[in-house]
Chains A and B, each alone.
Chain A
């Protein structure tokens, strides 16, 4: 049982890291981004170049990875998002798919499809319930929660963060109160790439290698976790990841031998269905059990009150 729990939490840490980035972009732009996984992967190749090939310490490689991800996000905003300012969020969502596919091609062209290695930042680990926990596994959930809390408070407490939230609601109105919209967009798309790189860096030691698109399936889990958490709540994203990780782990234990192909996808889909149905059915169910009191008659302004 402890093992199932632990495996679930390890998986949850990975999902949470991606989910936090997804929710941040969604809150700031109303765009569901599909590029985070590939941005993370691309930044890992940078880390591999710096650390494995050039032989510099892991920390330098990690810094290079995060920096390159942020620059990539900025370039994406500057070259593409900026030209689609008035476009529907769905259009921008599709642009992020385009970015992911482009990065995938570039990775394959530049490095081939054979796996690249990246030495883990720390050696050793703790053994718990028969599983060796590496430091990055433990760090994943902690870092995800810290990132979520940090981003959350930056959005709520700083004027610029509040400007980001307001820009997501009404970009035109935000300019009319003097908030620099162009700068907000640039900062949002650059900053949102940061968590993707952090996620990839912390996930890599668990997976053990980098190949083009290696983070895609994990990123899918991040998307599911973000939706489970309500898509607008950074803490919800972490909770959604824990729910998803544990459910997958339990399902793996119960049905792992039943020969169901892609069991995790089945679990993901069922959780999503449950969440969506639950969200819509719950208010009705509550109203059925506890009928609301009859509505008070609403007063409408009578003709006498209306000025000519």
Chain B
């Protein structure tokens, strides 16, 4: 076990063209933990994710993956070094079969160690039985919840060290959100380090260990979920009372377990 955190972002500034979106964002994600990034629309949640993934270039600051500086690497190179993505909108390849989607997910694994793929595919199918049933089906013809499973499985099959999950619940029906929760629980059980961006704060908080609250491109609050209170959330996210209610009770149960 290396001593370095799985992901470290140090004073990152990033943006598009003349617009700077992130103004010195720093974040530490220890190995094996699940970090949540929350914020209002335009706070820079997705840009943070894209900066970690290398899709949006960093203007200043550094991104370290398990102690290795990946700041100047392309998205593809970062994937080869152990980053996995569950992109916004799931972005499965609609015209390809489920199994071809998974094969592409394992692209860098198959290049590194081709022999490992069969076992990795088998493991993925046992984690997500619905994908085995539908392995010859075109991904685009599946339901939103099933596509979410595929998107997560496509990232996991490559045996990533860090998985970036961007707005997974967006555009999903309430029933599909229940499926998604089960899928993300599978990810949690694998022990892989995860960064989760969620606009549904209650949903997100119930899954993560640490919350990073973002406001206009700055991290304004970082704390373990167990130590969060409604006032902090109301101050930084402009929302009230997420910690009560139905989803909150699942969270409270976890808080009791951890404290």
Q: In the complex, A181→B178 CA distance in Å?
A: 34
Q: Decide yes or no whether A220 CB sits under 8 A from chain B.
A: no
User: Is B107 a contact of A179 with CB atoms below 8 Å?
Assistant: yes
Q: In the complex, A177→B83 CA distance in Å?
A: 9
User: Is A166 a contact of B247 with CB atoms below 8 Å?
Assistant: no
Q: Decide yes or no whether A266 CB sits under 8 A from chain B.
A: no
List CB contacts (< 8 Å) of A145-171 with chain B: 159, 162-163, 165-166, 169-170
State which of A179, A180, A301, A307 has its C-beta within 8 Å of the C-beta of B104.
A179
What's the nearest-Cβ distance from chain A to residue B242, in Å? 11
Q: In the complex, A159→B177 CA distance in Å?
A: 32
User: Is B104 a contact of A163 with CB atoms below 8 Å?
Assistant: yes
What's the nearest-Cβ distance from chain A to residue B208, in Å? 18
User: Is A176 a contact of B107 with CB atoms below 8 Å?
Assistant: no
What's the nearest-Cβ distance from chain A to residue B175, in Å? 5
What's the nearest-Cβ distance from chain B to residue A219, in Å? 27
| Chain A residue contacts of B247, Cβ below 8 A | 307-308
Provide the B58-78 mask, 1 if CB < 8 A to any CB of A, else 0: 000000000000000011100
| Chain B residue contacts of A90, Cβ below 8 A | none
Q: Decide yes or no whether B173 CB sits under 8 A from chain A.
A: yes
Q: Decide yes or no whether A178 CB sits under 8 A from chain B.
A: yes
Provide the A175-209 mask, 1 if CB < 8 A to any CB of B, else 0: 11111110000000000000000000000000000
Q: In the complex, A179→B155 CA distance in Å?
A: 13
Q: Decide yes or no whether A127 CB sits under 8 A from chain B.
A: no
Interface size, chain B (Cβ < 8 Å) = 34
| Chain A residue contacts of B108, Cβ below 8 A | 178
User: Is B107 a contact of A169 with CB atoms below 8 Å?
Assistant: no
User: Is B110 a contact of A159 with CB atoms below 8 Å?
Assistant: yes
Q: Decide yes or no whether A173 CB sits under 8 A from chain B.
A: yes
Q: Decide yes or no whether A287 CB sits under 8 A from chain B.
A: no
Q: In the complex, A166→B103 CA distance in Å?
A: 11
| Chain A residue contacts of B174, Cβ below 8 A | 301, 305-307
| Chain B residue contacts of A165, Cβ below 8 A | 93, 95-96
Q: Decide yes or no whether B13 CB sits under 8 A from chain A.
A: no
State which of B79, B94, B175, B246 has its C-beta within 8 Å of the C-beta of A177.
B79
Q: In the complex, A176→B152 CA distance in Å?
A: 12
Q: For chain A, what secondary structure do more than half of its interface residues adopt (helix, strand, loop), or is it mixed?
A: helix
Interface size, chain A (Cβ < 8 Å) = 22
Q: Decide yes or no whether A269 CB sits under 8 A from chain B.
A: no
Closest to B110 in A: A159
User: Is A163 a contact of B96 with CB atoms below 8 Å?
Assistant: no
Q: Decide yes or no whether B57 CB sits under 8 A from chain A.
A: no
Q: In the complex, A188→B245 CA distance in Å?
A: 54
List CB contacts (< 8 Å) of B46-65 with chain A: 53, 55
User: Is B91 a contact of A163 with CB atoms below 8 Å?
Assistant: no
| Chain A residue contacts of B94, Cβ below 8 A | 169
User: Is A172 a contact of B107 with CB atoms below 8 Å?
Assistant: no
What's the nearest-Cβ distance from chain A to residue B166, in Å? 10
Q: In the complex, A174→B111 CA distance in Å?
A: 15
Q: In the complex, A308→B96 CA distance in Å?
A: 35
List CB contacts (< 8 Å) of A288-308 with chain B: 301, 305-308
User: Is A159 a contact of B87 with CB atoms below 8 Å?
Assistant: no
User: Is A176 a contact of B103 with CB atoms below 8 Å?
Assistant: no
Closest to B90 in A: A173
Closest to A308 in B: B246
User: Is B107 a contact of A178 with CB atoms below 8 Å?
Assistant: yes
User: Is B75 a contact of A166 with CB atoms below 8 Å?
Assistant: no
7 A-B residue pairs with CB within 8 Å = A162-B103, A163-B104, A172-B91, A173-B93, A176-B75, A177-B79, A179-B104
Q: What are the 6 tightest A-B residue pairs by CB atom distance, in nearest-first order?
A: A178-B79, A308-B246, A173-B91, A176-B85, A178-B108, A306-B174
> Which B residues lie at the A interface, using CB under 8 A?
53, 55, 74-76, 79-80, 85, 87, 91-96, 100, 103-105, 107-108, 110-111, 154-155, 158, 173-175, 177-178, 245-247
Q: Given A169-B93, A169-B95, A308-B245, list of 11 further CB < 8 A pairs?
A: A173-B87, A173-B93, A175-B74, A176-B55, A177-B154, A178-B76, A178-B107, A178-B108, A178-B158, A181-B76, A306-B175
